[in-house]
Chains A and B, each alone.
Chain A
Amino acid sequence: MLRYLLKMNLDLNNFYKHSTKIIKGSIIDLSDIEFIHPWSIVMICLLLIERSAMSDKKLILPTKQETKSYLKRMHFEKILNELEYTEETKTLNAIGITTHLNLNVQEITHCLYRDEFNARLGHFLSMFTNFGLNEDDAHRATALVGELGNNVFDHNLGNWPTNVVGCIIAAQHYPRLRKIEISVGDPGVGFYRSLKVAFPKIQNDLEAIKLGLAGNTGRIGEVRGNGLKLIQQWTIQNFCGEVMIHSGEGLVIVAKEGMKEYTVNKILGTLAQFVINYN
């Protein structure tokens, strides 16, 4: 019975609700997962990066074949291979799928460098159009992805905590809900370390995230910081959506109704997502 109850649709809320069942030291356990949203996929990528140098690292893949096929469709085996999760890579490689099975996903994209990220923006523009957004909304959504990616490289260049660098992007379109989720994660220094230099009085990750969302930058002597403000404004006003940011052990969710903040499991770097609701 307990096992039955744990079968879960791993969206943002369920991830945090069940994080202790998923994160077990060097082991990441996805055995009970039935569906994984982009937020959780990128989160798991960050958790795997953090553990990639551990000798006893292990990923327990979902038991359900359909879920494994979905991960294969998301090209999850590529990042597993990069991080040397050898057995897990073999398991997913053995699954045969047709790429056209699900046109409503944006497979996991790991852009190591800024130029690579910029070069892929044209692909994201096409992706949003293929998902059904009109031209105006597709332009706006691409600009939002661009700003999230810019933040990754602007604040981590020359300062990555591990040997794994870059940003990881995944997206899912839910046509019946007319909703798109786009997640961008990075194993970088995070908001706190990025802002602490310019704002030495900040005490924790939540304070740092809120400071960043208010348009402050950690880059001393430079006038900037419009990106995150516009991401919130456009997501809420133009897409009736939400912006979520998890950095360190802080999680902030911004929506039309206001801002909510939580202390959650600590991660390396930052995970950000914006949700688009369209007509």
Chain B
Amino acid sequence: MTLQMLKFGNILNSRPAGREAVLRAKQIMNGSTDPDIILDFSGVEVLTPSFADEFTKGLKDIYKNKTIKFQGFEKNNVISDTLTALHLL
């Protein structure tokens, strides 16, 4: 299942926003049996560590058996650096 992160905003910031996004993601993925959750950052301009940490931890808590993968960030060094700093890549 692929989540288009741009639909959560082009600037993804703050832990409360990350928590809210997890709740929305849960509704969007309702019933998905796909073993992977792909976070597609195409079009996102800014991803802060706070949002990224809260969002990915929240997903992992709910979907312990799924693998979270990342795509669409290749042209954005800041998103790449954020994910790297959080040991997500």
Residues of chain A whose beta carbon lies under 8 Å from any beta carbon of chain B: 114, 118, 121-122, 125, 136, 139-140, 142-143, 146-147, 149-150, 153-154, 223-224, 226-227, 230, 233-234
Are A121 and B49 CB-contacts (below 8 A) given A139-B78, A226-B86, A230-B85? no
CA–CA, A231 to B16, complex, Å? Answer: 20
B77 → A minimal CB distance (Å): 5
A219 → B minimal CB distance (Å): 10
A96 → B minimal CB distance (Å): 35
* Cβ contacts under 8 Å, A227 to chain B: 48-50
Contact of B77 with A136 in the complex, beta carbons under 8 Å? yes
| Residues of chain B at interface, number, CB under 8 A | 23
Contact of B11 with A150 in the complex, beta carbons under 8 Å? no
* Cβ contacts under 8 Å, A149 to chain B: 13
Contact of B11 with A142 in the complex, beta carbons under 8 Å? yes
24 pairs, A vs B, C-beta closer than 8 Å: A118-B13, A121-B13, A139-B76, A140-B77, A140-B81, A143-B47, A143-B49, A143-B78, A143-B82, A146-B14, A146-B48, A147-B48, A147-B50, A150-B15, A153-B14, A223-B57, A224-B15, A224-B50, A224-B53, A226-B50, A226-B53, A230-B49, A230-B82, A234-B81
Residues of chain B whose beta carbon lies under 8 Å from any beta carbon of chain A: 10-11, 13-17, 45-50, 53, 57, 76-79, 81-82, 85-86
Interface of B is mostly: helix
* Cβ contacts under 8 Å, B11 to chain A: 118, 121-122, 125, 142, 146
Contact of A226 with B49 in the complex, beta carbons under 8 Å? yes
A7 → B minimal CB distance (Å): 41
A144 → B minimal CB distance (Å): 9
Contact of A143 with B48 in the complex, beta carbons under 8 Å? yes
A-B CB proximity, top 9 nearest: A146-B13, A139-B78, A146-B48, A226-B49, A140-B78, A143-B48, A121-B11, A142-B46, A150-B50
B85 → A minimal CB distance (Å): 6
Contact of A150 with B13 in the complex, beta carbons under 8 Å? yes
CA–CA, A233 to B82, complex, Å? Answer: 11
B36 → A minimal CB distance (Å): 24
Contact of B85 with A150 in the complex, beta carbons under 8 Å? no
